[in-house]
């Protein structure tokens, strides 16, 4: 087996808090310096909020782990200043193929229309993503990263959270207004608060193998039901950077995981799949599906994000992508609350909105798992009937579920959204994520709509006169005919139903808060107040 990639090690440094005569207090403490914790810390720091980021390790984790990063997540990473190196290193893909035995059932394209800055997906080993995030975080003055700082206890008293932290120099205490637990699926913080997951744990097991080889496979997602090379179970193939390929192979529920992960057992399985044994094994892991979540993500002064709040099966690339979107949803709200610009109740909408996203991901993940690994002979018969029919009739292909791939959640019932008062033929509704489109700036530069947005609320005026005198924290973005930003290919007008003029109030996380055909100051002010957690 090939030696694993060597990752950077980070020095433990003694913090001034350990020598303070009184307990140090911080606005925000984030536990866990993985992709979710790093993204949250960077987002808060870019908004001027000081963050202490604690991690019990001193290095990036081994193994590729999460590899599929979606278009929406890449747009977030772009705003955080890390998309460029990720795109430079990652493998872009948008197409996939689904096979039954040795026959292709169908193919799909995840981004069939032009005019988007980001690709549908990139494949990138998680350790690279973490490296780029850490490099970015170290350039921001508002982030204090503390390696080998293990939180051993969290309590809440007198409106603050108190953390006991163990280090190589012994324990110390700090307090914080807010603590965000991004400490993973086994979250020690969750255990400290006595919280448990609700949901389903599946018995089926899957083998993950990262294989280094030179191969002519296209950069697509290939999924097999009942492949001839793997004993009638399912298999998945993805390309990663560095000539590494991710292979997932379904195992039986009663398979001995210690035996199955041995290289001498894994190699023949992979060789049967590839038709040769000219490869090196880089990483091997075995997992069981879980589709579970906390009942609530906010517990007083402690908030949970990512795998510490919810877990799904890996089919559909919903784990890391959902966690990054948790961080973005929380960051702007936590910044407003910390600065005193919004009530603490605004953080309750993080729970409302991201619970909706978790439920949506768990539903899709559970359905995919049930289809890929049926629980009973009757379910297996139905699955196989759908596969057989899909091979003959196009309409049946939509019944085949190899893992619906991650899409951002539209917060349809969010308390922050103002319902439409006008008639719309299309365009993103309140709660929906912002579509991207190409623009041309006044100086002739070609940019994208996502580039033109800042980190605050934005009012997009499409083919309409931009209003003046708005609140200081609202940017105005005029787009369309004879505007500051020209609708380069007419895609803004088309995607936002803005041919006759339109106004969209966009939240700092690029979800729509409200929209109007004509601008009314009173309606705008009411919608802005509502989007900040005020009266409805």
Is it the case that residue 512 has pLDDT exceeding 90?
Answer: yes
Helices (H), 275-376: 319-338, 348-372
Same domain flag for 403 and 466:
no
Same domain flag for 137 and 84:
yes
Distances (CA, A) of 53 to 56, 68, 212, 396, 430: 10, 25, 34, 49, 33
Same domain flag for 442 and 396:
no
Which tokens in the block code for residue 381?
Answer: 């018969």
- pLDDT at residue 1, as a whole number: 60
Q: Residue 20 falls within a domain, yes or no?
A: yes
Residue 67 has a CB neighbour count (10 Å cut-off) of 26
Helix (H) / strand (E) element for 88: namely helix 83-89
Which tokens in the block code for residue 458?
Answer: 């934005």
Q: Residue 414 falls within a domain, yes or no?
A: no
How many independent structural domains does the chain possess?
2
Contact partners, residue 205, CB within 8 Å, separation at least 6: 250, 251, 252, 253, 255, 257, 260, 286, 287, 288
Average of per-residue pLDDT across 170-185 = 97
Q: Residue 416 falls within a domain, yes or no?
A: no
Q: What is the pTM of this model?
A: 0.95
Q: Residue 417 falls within a domain, yes or no?
A: no
Tens of pLDDT, residue by residue over 247-303, are: 999 998 888 989 999 999 999 999 999 999 999 999 999 988 788 999 999 999 999
Same domain flag for 267 and 197:
yes
Strand segments, DSSP code E, in 445-525 are: 446-448, 457-462, 474-479, 486-487, 502-506, 512-516
Same domain flag for 330 and 471:
no
d(CA 248, CA 466): 52
Is it the case that residue 110 has pLDDT exceeding 70?
Answer: yes
Which tokens in the block code for residue 379?
Answer: 């379910």
Q: Residue 419 falls within a domain, yes or no?
A: no
Same domain flag for 373 and 490:
no
Instruction: pLDDT band for 6, please (50, 70, 90 cuts).
Output: low
Same domain flag for 364 and 477:
no
Helices (H), 193-260: 257-260
Tens of pLDDT, residue by residue over 191-233, are: 999 999 998 887 778 999 999 999 888 999 999 999 999 987 8
Q: Residue 429 falls within a domain, yes or no?
A: no
Contact partners, residue 124, CB within 8 Å, separation at least 6: 67, 69, 86, 89, 90, 91, 240, 241
Same domain flag for 20 and 129:
yes
Average of per-residue pLDDT across 338-342 = 96
Residue 242 has a CB neighbour count (10 Å cut-off) of 13
Q: Residue 424 falls within a domain, yes or no?
A: no
* Domain that includes residue 153, residue range: 1-409
Q: Residue 517 falls within a domain, yes or no?
A: yes
Contact partners, residue 57, CB within 8 Å, separation at least 6: 33, 147, 148
**Could you tell me the CATH number of the domain that includes residue 51?**
3.50.50.60
Asked if residues 427 and 498 have their Cβ atoms less than 8 Å apart, the reply is yes
Helices (H), 90-215: 126-137, 188-192
Which DSSP state fits 2? Answer: P
Same domain flag for 470 and 353:
no
Q: For residue 108, give the nearest of 389, 342, 405 by alpha carbon.
A: 405
Same domain flag for 50 and 93:
yes
Among 388, 409, 430, give the residue marking a domain's end: 409
**Could you tell me the CATH number of the domain that includes residue 460?**
3.40.30.120
Lowest mean pLDDT among 115-124, 240-249, 399-408: 399-408
d(CA 55, CA 30): 9
Same domain flag for 279 and 317:
yes
Asked if residues 26 and 50 have their Cβ atoms less than 8 Å apart, the reply is yes
């Amino acid at each position: 087996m090939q030696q694993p990639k060597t990752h950077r090690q980070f020095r433990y440094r003694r913090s001034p808090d350990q020598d303070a005569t009184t307990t140090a207090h911080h606005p925000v403490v984030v536990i866990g310096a993985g992709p979710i914790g790093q993204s949250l810390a960077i987002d808060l720091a870019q908004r001027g909020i000081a963050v202490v980021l604690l991690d019990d390790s001193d290095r990036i984790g081994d193994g590729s782990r999460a590899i599929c990063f979606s278009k929406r997540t890449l747009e977030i990473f772009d705003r955080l200043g890390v998309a460029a190196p990720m795109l430079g290193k990652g493998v872009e893909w948008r197409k996939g193929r689904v096979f039954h035995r040795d026959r292709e059932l169908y193919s799909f394209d995840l981004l069939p229309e032009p005019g988007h800055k980001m690709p549908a997906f990139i494949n990138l080993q998680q350790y690279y993503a973490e490296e780029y995030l850490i490099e970015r975080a170290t350039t921001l003055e508002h982030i204090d990263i503390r390696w080998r700082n293990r939180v051993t206890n969290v309590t809440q008293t007198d409106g603050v959270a108190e953390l006991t932290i163990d280090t190589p120099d012994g324990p110390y205490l700090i307090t914080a207004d807010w603590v965000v637990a991004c400490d993973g699926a086994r979250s020690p913080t969750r255990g400290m608060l006595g919280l448990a997951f609700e949901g389903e744990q599946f018995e089926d097991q899957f083998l993950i193998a990262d294989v280094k080889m030179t191969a002519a496979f296209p950069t697509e997602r290939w999924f097999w039901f009942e492949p001839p090379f793997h004993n009638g179970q399912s298999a998945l193939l993805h390309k990663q950077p560095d000539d590494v390929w991710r292979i997932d192979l379904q195992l039986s529920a009663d398979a001995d995981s210690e035996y199955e992960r041995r290289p001498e057992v894994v190699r023949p399985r992979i060789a049967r799949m590839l038709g040769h044994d000219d490869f090196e094994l880089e990483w091997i892991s075995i997992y069981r599906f879980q589709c579970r979540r906390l009942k609530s993500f906010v517990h007083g002064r402690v908030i949970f994000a990512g795998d510490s709040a919810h877990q799904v099966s890996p089919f559909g690339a919903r784990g890391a992508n959902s966690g990054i979107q948790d961080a973005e949803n929380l960051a702007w709200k936590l910044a407003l609350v910390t600065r005193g610009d919004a009530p603490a109740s605004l953080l309750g909408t993080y729970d409302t909105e991201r619970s909706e996203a978790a439920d949506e991901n768990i539903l899709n993940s559970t359905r995919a798992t049930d289809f890929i690994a049926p629980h009973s002979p009757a379910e297996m018969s139905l699955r196989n009937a759908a596969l057989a029919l899909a091979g003959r009739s196009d309409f049946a292909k939509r019944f085949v579920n190899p893992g619906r791939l991650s899409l951002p959640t539209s917060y349809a019932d969010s308390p922050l959204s103002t319902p439409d008062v006008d008639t719309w033929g299309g365009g993103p509704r309140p709660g929906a994520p912002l579509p991207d489109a190409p623009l041309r700036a006044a100086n002739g530069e070609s940019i994208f709509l996502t580039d033109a947005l800042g980190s605050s609320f934005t009012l997009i005026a499409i083919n309409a006169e931009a209003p003046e005198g708005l609140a200081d924290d609202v940017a105005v973005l005029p787009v369309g005919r004879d505007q500051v930003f020209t609708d380069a290919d007419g895609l803004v007008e088309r995607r936002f139903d803005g041919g006759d003029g339109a106004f969209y109030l966009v939240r700092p996380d690029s979800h729509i808060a409200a929209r109007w055909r004509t601008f009314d100051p009173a309606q705008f002010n009411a919608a802005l107040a509502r989007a900040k957690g005020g009266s409805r």
